[in-house]
């Protein structure tokens, strides 16, 4: 079977909110953060799902924010590859498991995940995960939110 480059556009339009398709919509981001020094990115296992984020509850310094994707755009890059660009902005000052997300706490975003939201958050459908190297992790500013622009390219 050969998947044509145009398949990427079809896929992205099927999951983007407001694109006219029914079913799950890619509209939620998980911003994974740590309070303290930059961390080594964790291993990503294909079989892991929401259980990974549930286990963060037992971490003394890690948590995540569940945020809406602020904007998204499907476009072709210079290599004629289909790219889905996202803008995600942190929401709130407390993680899902109650840990503070603030400059005072030394919070820094070290990973993101994109998900299709469901009425029950425990049923979100994970689409992808990505982690930043320590030098690329995003610190929470004194005032305002963390904004992350992220491009996803179908190979």
Q: Give which of 83, 72, 73 is closest to 155, Cα–Cα.
A: 83
Answer for the pair 89, 129: CB distance below 8 angstroms, yes or no.
Answer: no
- Mind listing the pLDDT tens digit for each residue in 56-89? 999 999 999 999 999 988 887 777 788 888 999 9
| Domain extents in the chain | 6-153
Dihedral pair phi/psi, residue 147, rounded to 5°: -115, 130
Please, what's the b/e burial string for 77-106 (b: 16 or more CB within 10 A of its CB; e: otherwise)? eeeeebbbebebbbeeeebbeebebeeebb
d(CA 103, CA 93): 10
Task: Compute the distance between CA of residue 38 and CA of residue 109 in angstroms, rounded to an integer.
Answer: 9
- pLDDT given at position 108: 98
Spell out the per-residue pLDDT of the chain, length 155, in tens. 233 344 455 566 555 656 555 456 778 999 999 999 999 999 888 777 888 999 999 999 999 999 999 998 888 777 778 888 899 999 999 999 999 999 999 999 999 988 887 666 677 888 888 999 999 999 999 999 999 998 887 66
Q: Is the pTM of this model over 0.85?
A: no
pLDDT of the residue at 131: 94
């Amino acid at each position: 079977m050969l998947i044509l480059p145009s398949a990427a556009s079809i896929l992205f339009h099927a999951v983007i909110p407001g694109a006219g398709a029914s079913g799950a919509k890619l509209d939620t981001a998980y911003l994974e953060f740590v309070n303290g020094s930059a961390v080594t990115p964790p291993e990503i296992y294909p079989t892991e799902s929401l259980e990974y984020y549930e286990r963060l509850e037992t971490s003394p310094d890690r948590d995540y924010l569940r945020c809406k994707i602020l904007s998204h755009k499907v476009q072709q890059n210079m290599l004629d590859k289909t790219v889905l660009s996202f803008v995600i902005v942190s929401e709130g000052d407390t993680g899902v498991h109650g840990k503070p997300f603030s400059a005072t706490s030394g919070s820094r975003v070290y990973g993101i995940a994109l998900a299709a939201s469901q009425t029950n958050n425990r049923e979100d459908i994970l689409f992808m995960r990505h982690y930043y190297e320590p030098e690329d992790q995003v610190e929470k500013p004194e005032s305002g939110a963390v904004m992350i622009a992220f491009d996803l390219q179908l190979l």
